[in-house]
Amino acid sequence: MIKDIIAAVASGKRFLITAHVRLDGDALGSELALCRLLSDLGKEAVVCNQDATPGHYRFLPGAERIVHDPVRPELYDVGFVLDCSELERVGEIAADVARIPTLINIDHHVSNGGFCALRLLDPKASSTGELLYRLMREMRAVMTGDICTNLYAAILTDTGGFRYSSTRQETLRAAGDLVKGGADPQWISENIYESDPPAKLQLLARVLETLEMDLDLGIASMTVTEEHLRQTGASMEHTDGFIDIPRTVKGINIAMLYTQTGAKQFKLSLRSKGRVNVEKIARRFGGGGHINAAACRIEGDLETIKSRVLQAVKET
């Protein structure tokens, strides 16, 4: 399969690269690394996303060239769909992306059923960034400093700073190689994790007041409401990383973050430690993800949702 992808890259001239809505470091770092590689190979390559790039990822090399225009499929030979288990995850542009003659999916979600013929899928990989590193090594590609910076950022963020169980020997070896190639761990971490606007910390202060812990069940949850965002002037992207806070407590094996997305609509993000599988819980509500990190959307009032989720946790 990897050979077929390399062949498609060699014969293609015009490439579109996209990833899922609600962009994260893995999606963006992977897109930008791949775009840079294709440009270095003399190809035309465009990164197109539905959503705007969150502020703390705008330092990534090439981020300023990302477009958010409608996709004209006739302009491309090959479309790369990164970090998505389903094509629909790219958002409103999905139908047009589907009309690009050759699609290639590179992804590490457990729930990926394989929506196109050409794909590089490995649920054991820490990140799509790690898979692209593998692909580029296989291609014997020259990985410039900009490529290394983007791939390092992708792996760093999807492993929660090399802490999740998805961090394997290969992951750290890839990260080590990327540092050798020019990625600066301190500079990248500072830009991603230590460049927040004051509103983010003010939002966190409110959200921490919603913390609920059940030490018997080993679960903890927090809630971000629209009201919190209004009060602090923060935006949705500033909730990034909040989910990692409840799991810092000893004995808490499942961390949950409810984020209000509408009057009676919530997104539930789940993180777990060790072998505790939260993908199963998310799947019961029509979501998906990985064993230690998953998400779903649930409608209803918050208290009802919470008791339904609690029931699901007890049953899985």
**Residues that bind Mn ion in the complex, under the rule CB under 5 A:** 26, 83, 127-128, 158
Q: Which residues pair with 121 in a beta bridge?
A: 107
Please report how close the Cβ of residue 293 comes to Mn ion at its closest, in angstroms: 9
Spatial CB neighbours of 181, under 8 Å, sequence gap ≥ 6:
143, 144, 145, 147, 148
Rounded Cα distance between 265 and 153, Å, is 31
Distance in angstroms (rounded) separating the CA atoms of residues 89 and 189 = 27
HEC assignment per residue over 186-208: HHHHHHHHCCCCHHHHHHHHHHH
Nearest distance, CB of residue 109 and Mn ion, angstroms: 7
CB of 55 to Mn ion, least distance (A): 20
**Side-chain-side CA neighbours of residue 132 (13 Å):** 39
Which residue lies nearer to Mn ion by CB, 96 or 279? 279
CA distance 200 to 238: 5
What is the closest distance, in whole angstroms, from the C-beta atom of residue 82 to Mn ion in the complex? 8
Q: How far is the CB of 233 from Mn ion (least distance, A)?
A: 29
Residue 20 or 200: the one with the smaller Cβ distance to Mn ion is 20
CA distances from 299 to 207, 257, 288, 289, 316 (A): 20, 15, 16, 19, 21
d(CA 7, CA 3): 6
At closest approach, how far in Å is the CB of 127 from Mn ion?
5
